[in-house]
Amino acid sequence: MQSPQNPAGEKAMAAVNVKMAMDVLTNVLPIFGVTSEEGKTIMEVLNKMARQFGHETSKHQDAVPAEVAALVASLKGGPGAPPPTPVAGGMPPMAAPAPGA
C-alpha cells in the first residue's frame, strides 16, 4: 500500500497564490481609499492574511522595478537601454536632407 503524498508542495504553491492575491488587494486599495467601506474591508482582509501568511511581497513583484528601470533607461538612451527597434521593413530611419541639397 502506498503512503499518502506529502502536500508540502501544494501548500507552498497555495501560499504563493495567497500572496499574489494580497498583492492584488494592496494594488486596488488606493482606488477605493482606506476610509471607504470597501477600503476598510480590504484592510481587514489584508491584516488577517498578513498575520497568517506573512508580510513579504510575492516574487513576481521583484521583476516590476527591473522592468520599469529598463523602460526608463530605454527612454533616456542610458546604460542598459536596449538597441532601438527597427521600423517596419527593417530599414533604419533616413537622415534629414542637408540644407541646400
Residue recorded with cell 536632407: 97
Q: How many C-alpha atoms does 80 have within 13 Å on its Cβ side?
A: 8
List pLDDT tens digits, range 44-68: 999 999 999 887 655 545 545 555 5
Q: Residue 58 is part of which domain span?
A: 11-76
Number of domains in the chain: 1
> Bigger pLDDT: 81 or 83?
83
C-alpha cell at 54: 506573512
- pLDDT above 90 (res 100): no
Axis-axis angle for helices 8-32, 37-53 (nearest 10): 150
Q: What is the pTM of this model?
A: 0.50
Residues in the chain: 101
> What is the pLDDT at residue 31?
92
Least confident interval from 22-26, 63-67, 95-99: 63-67
**69 domain residue, yes or no:** yes
